[in-house]
Structure formats: structure tokens, C-alpha cells
Amino acid sequence: MTAPHADDHQTSAPFEGPEKLLEIWFAPSAAAVPHLNHASNGKTGLRAVPRQVWEDMLDIVKCKVLSVIQGTEIDAYLLSESSFIVSPHRLILKTCGTTLNLLGLPRILEIAANEAKMHTVYRFFYSRKSFMFPERQLGPHRDWKQEVEYLDQIFKNGAAYTVGKVNGDHWLLYLTAAESPSVGNGIDPVTHHHHLASEDRHVDYTIEILMSHLSPKASEPFFFSDSQTEGPEVTPSSLAASLSEKLGITNIFPPSLTDLDAYAFEPCGYSSNALIKWGHESLESNYQFTVGKDGRAVTGHFGEGYYTIHVTPEEGWSYASFECNIPLSTSTVSHEGKIPDLKGLVKRVVDIFEPGRITVTLFISSEDNDTGDESAVEAAQRAFKTALTEVRCNKQDGLARIYKRTDKINYEFGGYDLAFASFELK
């Protein structure tokens, strides 16, 4: 999105929409975080870290906090460049443009150790789509090789992957195994034993829909005229809330389950975080995930998840991203008032932005990747294809938009499986 404070966010220069996504787990679940004497308002672990401490870290990354929504399990910070999601045991830092995402990592590790008594990393993930303008990046983000070398200096058990066409749209991933690595940068590792058998674990599930070449009609609402932004009652948040309602963003998930925090940038651009309440009452009645080697089926977790949306609408580098960690059914059809199934979610998001190219990824903990006759990632691939290759007509101009799949890749990692697919308009 285009933000007013950064030099590279001028509409006359290209802006790098695709985000750098850093995710750090310091414990396998919220139940496994150490007790803190200074915790307040029921917040534990990383959520007990003061906002100012996080903001000082974000200064290193070169982004600012615009607003925050505090849920029962998650705090979601809306940033000048994307999002920062904090749970008791893990955090997600997602930044776009020329931000220095990885340079914030050493400080994050220090904060976790000093403020939350979490001295070791349980799991680490870093991923991004291929950059549109790699020559504009700074620091270790200049190319993938430098990013990997930077991370290898911190983590001793990391593995790096390129998924998709090297000479086309592809996705880059660095991850560590589920153990406590030796952490460098002057931080003393302390052995912290996690009792996996007794933890309150649920499906770890992240879907990303990364879209470029947005249609002119889909991009136009994200440009804001002076008449829209003037007036004493008009704020970036109120303008974004109105737009979210108009475009159907507020209905991607049931509004009754959603707490949406959105922001409109001048002269163009949009960001939003949302916290979603989910559980048996909001999922389909027959929705199940099979958990455990014994094949026992158990229904989903009551709790709170998130989604993020970020839009850079300028012609020539238009881009929109959607990320969500709510486990979605591939075997049921969504109904009004319920969490959408995977096919329905993909269709809702893509119909809003009308992209020319789409990259979809589903990352799921592999112990949960078993829904009976087919794996969860293969079921997801089927849902992606069904959602995107059906004939769809633009509501405004009546023109058919049909996508063809250009890539389909399934990966098995240690403890996780990945479904990757790319599509483009026919």
C-alpha cells in the first residue's frame, strides 16, 4: 500500500507490494509459555510485552504502528507497512516495501528473552513471494542468498526452499525444525522443555492468496480523492471502514464473528487486520480434522484467529495479499453465518480484487494433514482449482473471468506440508 511517511511510497515510484513474512514460535502453544509476575489483564508470554518495546523494535524494521486491536488470544498491530500479530507463544511480522524485516529479528529474540522469559526458539519461518523490484531492496533483502546467509548465522538447523518457477512467480521459504536451536547475536540459549503431550495444541494452518495485476475497476476504489478525505469526521480508519463495507471485505467472514481494523492511505492504498472468533458454533456442523496417529477425529478448537489484507493499487505494480490462519473445510459448503469453506473463501477474496495473476499457498501442520481418503493439501489443491477455474462474470461489466492453473506443487517438510498453486487469467 502507499503510505505518506516513507520516501519510497511516492506514487511516481514503484512500490514493492509483496511482503516479507517472519513467524517465530517460542513455545508450541500458549499453554507452554513461562509464568510472568508482571503479566496483567490476563495477558501472558509475548502479549505481556509493552507496546513501546515493540514499537522500538519496529523502528529498526522501518515501520510504524498505526493502530491495534486486542482480542482474547491475539493482539493485532496494523503497521504503516502491513501487520504485526502477537500471541502469547508466537509472533508474525509481515512487512512490505523496502522495510528491513530481518534486521528486527535479533531485537525480537532479545525482547522475548528479557520480557517474556522465552530464551529459545521452538520454530521459525520466513517466507516471501518473489519481489517485483528486487533492485530496490536494502540490507539482507537484496536477494534470497543473502537472506539465507543472514538467517544461517542465527539458526543452526535452518533449511531454505524455492517453490515454483525460478524465472516466474515463485515462493521462498526458510524454516527450522521443531526444537530449540542455539541462537546467536549475543543471546544465551536456555534449555526450555516443552511437554508436547499435555499442550493445548490445535491445527496450525495458514493460507495466503497473493494477487497481482488487479483489474482497473477493482483497483479504482483504493484511490482516494481530496473530497473523500476532507471533513472533520473523516479519518483513515473511517474511510477504510466504509470501503470495507462497500467492497464486501466485511463479509469475507461473518461480521458477527469479526473485529476489523482497517486503514486507508493517502493518496492510495489499504490495509486491514481482523480477529475472528471461531469454534464449533461457527464452523460447519460436520466439519472435522483428524488428529493423531490413531486416526481419531476431533472437532475444531474454540478460539481466535486472524486475517490480514494489504493493497497496493497503482497500475504497473498493483498487488493485494490476503493471509488467514482459520482452518477451513474442504468437504463442506459454507452457509450464511458460518465460517466459509476453502473454496468459498478463495472465491470471495479473488472476486473483490480481480487479479490477473494469483499465487495461493496453504501451510498446514502435517499431523493434521489427514482428512481420510486424500491429504489436506491435495484437498486444498482441488478447492483452489475448483474456485478459480469455474467461469465467473464481473458484476459490473458482465465479462467472464476464467483462470488457468500454471503451477501445482505439494511439499512435505519436517512437521508441515505445503500446497502451492499459481493461476493466471486465460
- Annotated catalytic residues are 82, 96, 271, 310
Neighbours of 417 (CB within 10 A): 22
Distance CA 272, CA 82 (A): 8
323 closest CA partner among 44, 3, 23:
23
Q: Which residue has the cell 521459504?
A: 173
Distance CA 222, CA 268 (A): 6
Q: Which residue has the cell 504485526?
A: 84
Distance CA 83, CA 260 (A): 13
| 125 annotated as a binding-site residue | no
Helices (H), 62-117: 105-116
| 420 annotated as a binding-site residue | no
| 353 annotated as a binding-site residue | no
Residue type present at position 188: D
| 81 annotated as a binding-site residue | yes
Query: Environment class of residue 29 by beta-carbon count within 10 Å: exposed (0-12), middle (13-18) or buried (19+)?
Result: buried
Q: What is the rounded radius of gyration, in angstroms, for the C-alpha atoms of the chain?
A: 21
Number of H helices and number of E strands within the chain?
A: 8, 20
Distance CA 206, CA 210 (A): 13
Distance CA 322, CA 315 (A): 19
* Residues 313, 319, 323: CA angle, nearest 5 degrees: 125
Do residues 14 and 317 make contact, with C-beta atoms less than 8 angstroms apart?
A: yes
46 closest CA partner among 94, 108, 105:
108
Q: Which residue has the cell 526444537?
A: 179
Phi-psi region of 279 (alpha: psi -120 to 50; beta: other; left: phi over 0): left
Peptide bond into 4 cis (omega under 30): no
Distance CA 178, CA 158 (A): 11
Helices (H), 313-360: 342-353
23 closest CA partner among 50, 46, 55:
46
Distance CA 155, CA 306 (A): 28
Cell of 50: 509493552
Known binding-site residue numbers for substrate: 15, 81, 265, 314
Residues at the binding site are 15, 81, 265, 314
